[in-house]
Every structure is written in structure tokens, then in C-alpha cells.
């Protein structure tokens, strides 16, 4: 028997507008198979509004919400099928409400808003889903920043820590974290730094590079591999990336953070970030 989740039941309800218990029962009988569960509901006359499985919900909006004191920020991606629906006032308001719920601490927003979700599905005639959410609460001295790019197609949250409370209020620190949010949006780093990259990913990259230099002496191969991994980190890791606003194309984010720290007389640490791109993994 496949393990059923609330998300599966909510998804089935959004597709069919059937009752939650009916959806749960159908999924149990179908062993978790969504299409089979829809067929069961249709056979029983319980599927009022069936969404076609072929319709991918990969359009929509990414919204951010910020607390009044800036200590808490949220990011939410809500998907629909077409850009046309994503631009309607009703969908925009729904997506904004999702972000507000997450900001308020709702850990299961898809379940909490299941009735609203059914309503927006009925109103738009499209498959609508709350795809993913993030919530940052500032820990200690520092600052949070949110950034929405390309009209809601990319969304970013960033947290930077500092040693002194007064540093967080400085214009230089505010400019730094805003630039970091822009960097994440534009350069799409996958990890914060080299230490954050999973060992199997590094091993896989080395295997690829090793096949490219077959036949060279072992000591030369290792030097080449080290250089290629460094280049990989420069593309995939935020602190190793070249700062997109640096005209010389030589200053890394780590150097930018260090320079700003020296300017404000404090130690600054990029703690974490999240980046959502509409429809992307």
C-alpha cells in the first residue's frame, strides 16, 4: 500500500472538487495512483471538476511577504496552467494570500487553504497548486532581504549575519544584502559555498573531468581536477561567484562581503539563501 500524504489528497480534491474523505478513500483503493483515483471518483459520480493530467501547472507567480519589523520573510510559489490566468487579479490575490499565510507561520498552507484552492480552481478552470514555500526568521544580529524578479518568475530570500546590532542598520550593510539578493536572482547559485556541495556531486564532477584528461600523468590530472572543481564552485556556489555588478569581472562575492565587513568594522557572514524560479526544480 502506497503511503498517502495530505498533499496527495489535497491535489486530488483540487483536480476533482470531491470531498476530502472521498478523495482519501479513492487514493487508498487506487494504491496512491492519481489517475486511477480520479477514475474511481468519476465512476461514482463524485468528480465534479476533473482536471486533465496533461495540463501542467508550471506558470503562476512567486510572491514574497515581509513582517512589519523585517525580522521574518516568506516566499511562496503558486502555479497555474497559463500565463493569462497568472496575470489575473484573482490569481494574484490568491498567490499573495499564500505568502501571507506562510509569513504568519502556517506550516501546512496547502491543507489550511484547501477550500480557497478549490475555489480558485473553479474560478479559473485551471489546475492550481501551491508548489513550494520558504520562511526565514532572523537569528541574532543581521538582516533579511527578499527580492522578486521578472514580474514574479524568480523569487529570492537571503540572510546575512553580523557581529554587532548597529551594523544591521548601516547603509553599507543594507546595500550589501540587496546586492546579494540580486546576485542570487541573476546568477542562480545552487549552493552557498564549497562545503555545502554534496560529496557525491563533487565526485561526479571529478569523474566527468577525469575522462576528459585521460592519458596525462597522475600528478597533472589531479592539478587539472582541482582547477576544474574550483571553476565549478565559481559557477555553482554563491560566495565563489563573480559579483555580477563588478565591471572588472574579478571580484567574488566572498571578497565583496569581506570588503563591506571592513567598511563597517564588523564580521559579516552570508548565512543562507533560497531561490525559486517559476516551474523549475
Show pLDDT as tens, one digit a residue, over the chain (281 residues). Answer: 567 888 888 888 877 777 888 888 989 999 989 888 887 887 776 655 444 444 567 899 999 999 999 999 999 999 999 999 999 999 999 999 999 999 999 989 999 998 898 889 888 888 899 999 999 999 999 999 999 999 999 999 999 999 999 999 999 999 999 999 999 999 999 999 999 999 999 998 888 888 888 788 888 888 999 999 999 999 999 999 999 999 999 999 999 999 999 999 999 999 999 999 998 87
Predicted local distance difference test score (pLDDT) of residue 166: 97
Is there a common fold for 1-17+57-137 and 138-197+237-281? yes
Predicted local distance difference test score (pLDDT) of residue 55: 58
Pair 184, 148: CB distance under 8 Å: no
Contacts (Cβ under 8 Å, ≥6 apart) of 117? 10, 13, 14, 110, 128, 129, 130
Predicted local distance difference test score (pLDDT) of residue 36: 87
Predicted local distance difference test score (pLDDT) of residue 51: 46
Predicted local distance difference test score (pLDDT) of residue 279: 86
Which numeric CATH code is attached to 1-17+57-137?
A: 3.30.479.20
Give residue limits of the domains in the chain.
1-17+57-137, 138-197+237-281
What are the residue ranges of helices labelled H in 58-198?
A: 83-86, 89-103, 109-112, 114-124, 171-187
Predicted local distance difference test score (pLDDT) of residue 237: 98
Which numeric CATH code is attached to 138-197+237-281?
A: 3.30.479.20
- Cα–Cα distance, 134 to 155 (Å, whole number): 11
Pair 189, 237: CB distance under 8 Å: yes
> What is the number of helices (H) and of strands (E) in the chain?
11, 6
- Cα–Cα distance, 129 to 100 (Å, whole number): 16
| Total-model pTM | 0.79
Pair 205, 228: CB distance under 8 Å: yes
- Cα–Cα distance, 113 to 107 (Å, whole number): 11
Strand order in the sheet with 59-66: 59-66, 72-80, 129-137
Q: Is the dihedral of CA 9, 11, 14, 17 positive or negative?
A: negative
Predicted local distance difference test score (pLDDT) of residue 46: 61
- Beta bridge partners of residue 134, listed in sequence order: 75
- Dihedrals phi, psi of 22, to nearest 5 degrees: -65, -40
Predicted local distance difference test score (pLDDT) of residue 101: 98
Pair 62, 76: CB distance under 8 Å: yes
Amino acid at each position: 500500500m502506497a503511503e498517502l500524504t495530505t498533499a496527495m489528497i489535497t491535489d486530488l480534491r483540487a483536480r476533482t472538487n470531491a470531498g476530502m474523505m472521498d478523495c482519501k478513500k479513492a487514493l487508498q483503493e487506487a494504491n496512491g495512483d492519481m489517475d486511477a483515483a480520479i477514475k474511481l471518483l468519476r465512476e461514482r459520480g463524485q468528480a465534479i471538476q476533473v482536471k486533465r493530467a496533461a495540463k501542467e501547472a508550471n506558470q503562476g507567480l512567486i510572491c514574497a511577504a515581509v513582517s512589519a519589523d523585517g525580522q521574518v520573510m516568506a516566499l511562496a510559489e503558486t502555479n497555474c496552467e497559463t500565463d493569462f490566468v497568472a496575470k489575473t487579479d484573482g490569481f494574484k490575490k490568491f498567490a499573495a494570500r499564500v505568502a501571507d499565510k506562510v509569513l504568519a507561520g502556517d506550516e501546512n498552507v496547502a491543507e489550511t487553504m484547501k477550500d480557497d484552492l478549490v475555489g480558485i480552481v473553479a474560478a479559473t478552470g485551471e489546475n492550481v497548486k501551491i508548489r513550494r514555500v520558504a520562511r526565514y526568521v532572523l537569528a541574532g544580529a543581521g538582516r533579511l532581504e527578499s527580492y522578486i524578479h521578472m514580474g514574479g518568475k524568480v523569487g529570492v530570500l537571503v540572510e546575512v549575519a553580523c557581529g554587532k546590532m548597529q551594523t544591521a542598520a548601516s547603509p553599507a550593510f543594507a546595500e550589501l544584502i540587496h546586492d546579494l539578493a540580486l546576485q542570487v536572482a541573476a546568477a542562480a547559485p545552487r549552493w552557498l559555498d564549497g562545503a555545502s556541495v554534496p560529496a557525491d556531486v563533487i565526485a561526479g564532477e571529478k569523474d566527468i573531468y577525469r575522462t576528459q584528461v585521460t592519458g596525462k600523468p597522475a600528478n597533472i590530472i589531479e592539478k587539472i581536477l582541482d582547477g576544474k572543481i574550483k571553476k565549478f564552485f565559481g559557477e555553482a556556489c554563491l560566495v565563489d561567484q563573480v559579483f555580477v555588478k563588478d565591471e572588472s569581472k574579478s571580484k567574488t562575492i566572498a571578497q565583496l562581503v569581506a570588503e563591506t565587513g571592513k567598511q563597517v568594522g564588523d564580521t559579516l557572514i552570508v548565512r543562507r539563501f533560497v531561490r525559486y524560479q517559476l516551474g523549475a526544480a
